[in-house]
Amino acid sequence: DSTDVTNPRHREISAHRLIAKMPTLAADSYKYSMGLPFNFPKNKLDYSENFLHMMFALPTEEYVVNPVHARALNLILILHADHEQNASTSSVRLASSSGANPFASICAGIASLWGPSHGGANEAVIRTLEEIGEAENIPKFVARAKDKNDSYRLMGFGHRIYKNFDPRAMLIRDACHDLLDDMGDHNDPLFEIALELERIALEDDYFKERKLYPNVDFYSGIIMRAMGIPINMFTVVFAMARTVGWIAQWMEMMDDPEQRIGRPRQLFVGKARRDYVSLEDRD
What is the chain's mean pLDDT, rounded? 91
What is residue 41's predicted lDDT score, i.e. its pLDDT? 95
State the pLDDT confidence band at 24, using cuts at 50, 70 and 90: very high
Q: For the beta carbon of residue 258, count every other beta carbon within 10 angstroms.
A: 4
Which of 29-43, 122-136, 171-185, 252-266 bottoms out in mean pLDDT, i.e. has the lowest?
171-185
Checking if the pLDDT of 192 tops 90, the result is no
State the pLDDT confidence band at 52, using cuts at 50, 70 and 90: very high
Q: Which long-range contacts (CB under 8 A, 24 or more apart) does 264-270 make?
A: 264/94
What is residue 219's predicted lDDT score, i.e. its pLDDT? 87
Domains of the chain: 8-115+231-254 (1.10.580.10), 121-227 (1.10.230.10)
What is the rounded CA–CA span in Å between residue 75 and residue 80?
9
Checking if the pLDDT of 172 tops 70, the result is yes
| Consecutive H or E run containing 144 | helix 138-146
State the pLDDT confidence band at 187, using cuts at 50, 70 and 90: low
Checking if the pLDDT of 165 tops 80, the result is no
What is residue 67's predicted lDDT score, i.e. its pLDDT? 95
What is the rounded CA–CA span in Å between residue 154 and residue 208?
15
Burial of 163 (0-12, 13-18, 19+ CB in 10 A): exposed
Checking if the pLDDT of 167 tops 90, the result is no
Catalytic residue among 80, 159, 177, 181: 159
Q: Which tens digits make up the pLDDT trace of 88-111?
A: 999 999 999 999 999 999 999 999
pLDDT over 90 for what percent of the chain?
Answer: 61
What is residue 157's predicted lDDT score, i.e. its pLDDT? 86
Q: Is 118 a catalytic residue?
A: no
Q: Is 53 a catalytic residue?
A: no
Checking if the pLDDT of 215 tops 90, the result is no
Catalytic residue among 205, 217, 275, 281: 217
Q: What is the mean pLDDT of residues 197-215?
A: 87
When comparing pLDDT for 190 and 185, which is higher?
190
What is the rounded CA–CA span in Å between residue 182 and residue 199?
20
Checking if the pLDDT of 186 tops 70, the result is no
For the chain, the maximum distance between any two Cα atoms, rounded to a whole number of angstroms, is 75
Checking if the pLDDT of 244 tops 80, the result is yes
What is residue 185's predicted lDDT score, i.e. its pLDDT? 60
